Structure 1
Amino acid sequence: MSIFHTRTRRFAVAALTTVSLLLAAAPAQADGEDAGAVAAFLRQAMATARFEQVLDLAPPGSPQARTLSQEVDKEARTPADHARLFASAADPEPIVQQPQLDVTVLELDRYGKPVSSGTVLMSPQHPQGIVVPVDRDFHTTQVRWRQWDDSGWYANQGKGTIDIVPGRENAPIDFMSPYPASVLKLMVAFGVLRLADQGELGLDDTYAYEPTVVSPLCGGPTSNTVRAYLDAAITSSANSAACALVKLLHDRGAVDGLNQTFQDLGLETMQLKNTNPANGGRWSNPVTMSSLDTAKLLALVNGVPGKAWTAPDGTPVTSAVLSPASRQVFKRLLAEQGFNDMLSTTNRCGAGYPAPGLPQQVAERWVAADGTVTVAGNKYGRDVRHCNQQAQVTFAHKTGWVGNSGADAGIVRSLPGKAGRHYIVVALTNLGTQYVDADRPAAEPGVLPVLYTEKLAQLGAAIDRYETTRYARLSKR
Structure 2
Amino acid sequence: MSFDAQTLAQALRHAVLAQRFEQTEDSLCGGTAIEHFPSIDLAVAAFPEGAAPVFANVLFSREHPQGLVAQLGADAGSPRNLSYLADQQDAQGRSIAWLPGADWSQLKWQPLCGQGGHQFVSPYPASLIKLMVLVGVARLVDAGRSDWGKAVAFEGRRRALRDWAFDMTVISCNRSTSALVALLHSCGAIRREGQLELHNELHDCFRAYGLPGLRLAHTRPDGGWGNAAGAGVGCLHMTAWDALRLLWLLDRAAPPPPWLPAGTPPLLSAASQSELLYCLQEQGLHEILSSSVLAGLPNWVPGLPARLPLRWLGRDGGAQVGPHRFPGDLSAQTGLELAFAHKTGNTENYGADAGIVRGITPLNRHYLIAFTSNLGRRYVTQPGCVSNWRLPALGAAIDAHLCRLMPP
Deviation at 1:110, TM superposition (A): 4.5
- In 1: Cα distance, 2:181 partner to 2:49 partner: 34
1:186 aligns with 2:134: no
**Residue in 2 that maps onto 1:292:** 241
1:119 aligns with 2:57: yes
Q: What root-mean-square deviation, in Å, do the aligned CA atoms of Structure 1 and Structure 2 show? A: 2.0
Instruction: Indicate the structure (1 or 2) with the bigger Cα radius of gyration.
Output: 1
Q: 1:48 to 1:377 in 2, by over 3 A?
A: same
Q: 1:199 to 1:110 in 2, by over 3 A?
A: farther
1:378 aligns with 2:313: no
- 1:306, 1:318 within 8 Å by CA — same for their partners in 2? no
Written as runs of structure 1 = structure 2, the 5 A alignment for 1:292-371 is 292-303=241-252, 307-311=256-260, 315-316=261-262, 320-349=266-295, 351-371=297-317
Deviation at 1:465, TM superposition (A): 1.1
Q: 1:287 to 1:412 in 2, by over 3 A?
A: same
Report Cα offsets for 1:334-380 as digits up to 9, x if no partner. Answer: 01001011101101225442310011111011011121111112111
Q: 1:114 to 1:346 in 2, by over 3 A?
A: farther
- In 1: Cα distance, 2:54 partner to 2:298 partner: 35
Q: 1:122 to 1:381 in 2, by over 3 A?
A: same
**Residue in 1 that maps onto 2:18:** 48
**Residue in 2 that maps onto 1:467:** 402
| Corresponding residue to 1:402 among 332, 339, 347 | 347
Secondary structure of the 1:395 match is strand
Deviation at 1:281, TM superposition (A): 2.6
Identity of aligned residues (%): 32
Q: 1:435 to 1:44 in 2, by over 3 A?
A: same
Report Cα offsets for 1:174-204 as digits up to 9, x if no partner. Answer: 0000101000000000011111111111100
- In 2: Cα distance, 1:34 partner to 1:236 partner: 36
- In 2: Cα distance, 1:95 partner to 1:347 partner: 27
Q: How high is the TM-score relative to the length of structure 1?
A: 0.77
Question: How many equivalent residue pairs?
Answer: 384
Report Cα offsets for 1:80-118 as digits up to 9, x if no partner. Answer: xxxxxxxxxxx333211110100011112449x971111
- 2:354, 2:370 within 8 Å by CA — same for their partners in 1? yes
Q: Which 4+ residue blocks in structure 1 deviate beyond 6 angstroms?
A: none
Deviation at 1:230, TM superposition (A): 0.4
Amino acid at match of 1:230: A
Amino acid at match of 1:262: F
- 2:248, 2:254 within 8 Å by CA — same for their partners in 1? no
Report Cα offsets for 1:51-88 as digits up to 9, x if no partner. Answer: 111122224xxxxxxxxxxxxxxxxxxxxxxxxxxxxx
122-131 vs 151-160, greater mean Cα deviation: 151-160
Amino acid at match of 1:41: A
Q: 1:280 to 1:98 in 2, by over 3 A?
A: same
Consecutive unaligned residues in structure 1, runs of 5 or more: 1-29, 60-90, 210-219, 444-448
Consecutive unaligned residues in structure 2, runs of 5 or more: 89-94, 191-199
| Corresponding residue to 2:211 among 267, 278, 285 | 267
- 2:180, 2:223 within 8 Å by CA — same for their partners in 1? no
**Residue in 1 that maps onto 2:141:** 196
**Residue in 1 that maps onto 2:375:** 431
Secondary structure of the 2:67 match is strand
Deviation at 1:233, TM superposition (A): 0.3
- 2:182, 2:223 within 8 Å by CA — same for their partners in 1? yes
Q: 1:347 to 1:57 in 2, by over 3 A?
A: same
Q: Counting helix residues as a fraction of each chain, which structure ranks higher? A: 1
Amino acid at match of 2:24: V
